[in-house]
C-alpha cells in the first residue's frame, strides 16, 4: 500500500473537558498518513484516480473547527472516519497534537495516534 502524508494541519478548535478550553479554544495540529494504491493515478496521471489531499486537508480542518468534543481520542476518531469516506483510502493513521493542553508542568506536546482501516 502506498502512503500520502499530510503533516502539520493547523486549526482552532474548542475541544476539551475544561470550560476554559471550550470557551477560548486552542490550536490543534493534525498529521495524516493515508494508505491507498496510487498505481492507477500514476499510470494515467489522473487526479480522479487518487485522493485529492487538498480536499482531505480542508475536511480535516472543518472537523477540528466543528462540533466540540471532550477528548482528543474522539476528535481523532472523527478525523479518521472523514478520511475513510474517500473511496481510494483503505487505511489512515491520524495523529492529533494538543500543544496547549492544560498541564501544570513543562511539556512540549500531547498526542494521540490512531490507525483505522476499511477492514
pLDDT, one tens digit per residue, over 8-60 is 999 999 999 999 999 999 999 999 999 999 999 999 999 999 999 999 999 99
Strand pairing of 2-13 and 111-117? unpaired
pTM value?
0.96
Report the run of H or E that residue 56 belongs to, with start and end.
helix 53-65
**CA torsion sign, 57 to 13 to 80 to 101?**
positive
Residue 49 among the catalytic residues = no
Q: Answer yes or no: is pLDDT of 119 > 80.
A: no
Total domain count, the chain: 1
Which cell numbers hold the place of 65? 473547527
**Active-site pick, 10, 49, 85, 98:** 98
Q: Which domain holds residue 21?
A: 1-115
Could you tell me the CATH number of the domain that includes residue 76?
3.30.1130.10
Distance (Å, rounded) from C-alpha 22 to C-alpha 108?
A: 21
pLDDT, one tens digit per residue, over 49-83 is 999 999 999 999 999 999 999 999 999 999 999 99
Report the run of H or E that residue 58 belongs to, with start and end.
helix 53-65
Which pLDDT score is estimated for 15?
Answer: 98
Cβ distance 61 to 35 under 8 Å?
no
Amino acid at each position: 500500500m502506498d502512503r500520502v502524508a499530510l503533516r502539520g494541519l493547523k486549526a482552532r478548535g474548542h475541544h476539551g473537558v475544561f470550560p476554559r478550553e471550550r470557551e477560548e479554544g486552542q490550536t490543534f495540529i493534525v498529521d495524516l498518513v493515508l494508505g491507498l494504491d496510487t498505481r492507477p493515478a500514476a499510470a494515467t496521471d489522473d487526479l480522479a484516480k487518487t485522493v485529492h489531499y487538498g480536499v482531505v486537508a480542508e475536511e480535516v480542518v472543518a472537523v477540528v473547527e466543528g462540533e466540540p468534543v471532550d477528548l482528543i481520542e474522539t476528535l481523532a476518531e472523527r478525523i479518521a472516519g472523514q478520511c475513510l469516506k474517500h473511496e481510494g483510502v483503505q487505511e489512515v493513521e491520524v495523529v492529533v497534537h494538543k500543544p496547549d493542553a492544560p498541564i501544570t508542568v513543562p511539556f512540549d506536546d500531547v498526542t494521540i495516534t490512531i490507525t483505522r482501516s476499511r477492514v
